[in-house]
Structure 1
Amino acid sequence: MRASTLLNSLFHLPGVRVGKAAVVDGELQVTVSLRRRRLCCPQCSFTTRHRYDTREVDSSWRHLDMGGRVCRIVLRRRRLRCCEHGVLAEAVPFARPDSRHTRDFEDLVAWLVTKADKTTVSTFARIAWRTVGAICERVAAEVLDPDRLCGLVDIGVDEISWRKHHRLT
């Protein structure tokens, strides 16, 4: 099996080709390239074949840890001119817009928050607890239906207790 095929199956990132992987400063850095030729706006559905330019620096996203090492996905992104949003770096299929983490990493963190508190999750994932909150907001905004409470008319409350032994004074 070729090394590139092995790396592609190991990381399983949609829409990318894995180039090389190397340990840099104790972190596993995986260089990837996009398979698609069309550039997509991260804010809307606009696509184009014409690029504005290529960024001078690489973009990186935190991915799931590999072998106890922090893993970063590295990509040199192109920029496009969207008629509505102006000049932006292209969207990538493996990460949400304005995120520094891959979807897999964010989904793991969001799931862990349902099982443990933010401090425990931040220690386990090796990120700041404020980042845990930001990840939860991004995942909830994508997953939850914004119109889920539109037909709500009444809210029923079964019991309220604010003092010991439920005494009213």
Structure 2
Amino acid sequence: MRATSLVKQMLGLRGVTVTEVLLGSGILVIKLRLTRSSLVCPKCSYVTRACYDTRTLDSRWRHLDMGAHQTWLSCQLRRLRCPTHGVITEAVPFARPVGESRFTRDFEHLVVWATAKMDKTTVTRLLRVAWRTVGTICERVVAEELNPNRLDDLFVVGVDEISFRKHHNYLTLVTNHDSGKIVYGAEGKKAKSLDEFFNDLGKERTANIKAATMDLGPAFAKAFREKAPNAQICLDPFHVVKVRHEAPCIPAVMKGHRLWDVAASQRS
């Protein structure tokens, strides 16, 4: 088997042919050629067979590493005139439009997956990318992959906060208990951290929420009492048991009080 054929199978990319493989000092450059003859607009998928001019652009994208070698894909691209977007460089099947990213989609998805499993510093060392690049890639992928229907059919939700950056900052997260997936996140842990969530949800979908689980903190309960008064507030059993052991007198004073109010008074 030829080296180019072997590399093509290893890449697993469709719509391209490997024309040359160049191995340098820790860097592997794979030259590609698109198999299609037509040109495709990267923004609206407009297809044409007419080139705008004879000019070609040598573009490169960082791809998944092969062993210890940084892998770069190189391809000569043509330009077309799109009725909507004007003169633009044609699309490639493995990456975003030229100028938006210098990484392949496979590489960007790997960065996002790694970021969800480990700290950012480890990701930069493992994948050999800059600190800011990790954040930029995550923003691009989330903006594209975020399910626009994630806030539909919310009936039972969970609200909690997590700390990051050595516990000096917090994120408020909302989970759909039916699917087990996080559907919203915002910085902070106050009631206003949920403002955008209810704005995106709208009055009709907010009215569909039957119950919301949360800890004993008053902020989240306040937000749901104001924005979703029909939702039943359910307290996390862990925190209830913890407060019960710390304050044995709570059962005696609970009558006629809301548990989160009692818990707050005990902490104060």
- For Structure 1 versus Structure 2, the TM-score category normalised by the shorter chain is 0.7 to 0.9
Equivalent in the alignment of 1:2: 2
Conserved 8 A contact 1:54-1:76: no
For 1:78 and 1:36, locate their aligned partners in 2 and report how far apart those are by CA, in whole Å.
Answer: 12
1:18-167 matches, within 5 Å, as 18-97=18-97, 98-149=100-151, 151=201, 152-153=205-206, 156=212, 158-159=214-215, 160=217
Point out the structure with the larger helix share. Answer: 2
Amino acid aligned to 2:143? A
Q: Which moved more, 1:53-62 or 1:91-100?
A: 53-62
Amino acid aligned to 2:70? V
For 2:19 and 2:38, locate their aligned partners in 1 and report how far apart those are by CA, in whole Å.
Answer: 20
> Using a 3 Å threshold, how does the CA distance of structure 1 residues 161 and 94 change in structure 2: closer, same or farther?
same
For 2:106 and 2:77, locate their aligned partners in 1 and report how far apart those are by CA, in whole Å.
Answer: 20
**CA apart distance, 1:55:** 4.3
Which runs of 5 or more residues in structure 2 are unaligned?
153-200, 220-245, 247-263
Which runs of 5 or more residues in structure 1 are unaligned?
none
For 2:87 and 2:25, locate their aligned partners in 1 and report how far apart those are by CA, in whole Å.
Answer: 33
Q: Which moved more, 1:69-78 or 1:91-100?
A: 91-100
Conserved 8 A contact 2:4-2:18: yes
For 1:71 and 1:12, locate their aligned partners in 2 and report how far apart those are by CA, in whole Å.
Answer: 14
For 1:161 and 1:108, locate their aligned partners in 2 and report how far apart those are by CA, in whole Å.
Answer: 38
**CA apart distance, 1:22:** 0.7
Higher relative contact order (CA 8 A, sep 6+): 1
**CA apart distance, 1:114:** 0.9
Larger Rg: 2
TM-score (norm 2): 0.57
**CA apart distance, 1:148:** 2.2
Describe the SS at the equivalent of 1:104.
helix
Number of positions where the alignment pairs a residue of Structure 1 with one of Structure 2: 167
> Using a 3 Å threshold, how does the CA distance of structure 1 residues 161 and 122 change in structure 2: closer, same or farther?
farther
Deviation digits for residues 112-150 of structure 1 (CA, Å, limit 9, x no counterpart): 011012221111111112111121122222222224226
**CA apart distance, 1:53:** 2.6
**CA apart distance, 1:83:** 0.8
Deviation digits for residues 32-65 of structure 1 (CA, Å, limit 9, x no counterpart): 0001111111111211111113545410000111
Deviation digits for residues 5-32 of structure 1 (CA, Å, limit 9, x no counterpart): 2221122211100011112354111000
TM-score (norm 1): 0.87
Conserved 8 A contact 1:21-1:29: yes
Q: How well do the aligned residues superpose, as a CA RMSD in angstroms?
A: 2.3
Deviation digits for residues 59-114 of structure 1 (CA, Å, limit 9, x no counterpart): 00001111201110001111111111111111100112322111111111111011
Q: Percent identity?
A: 49
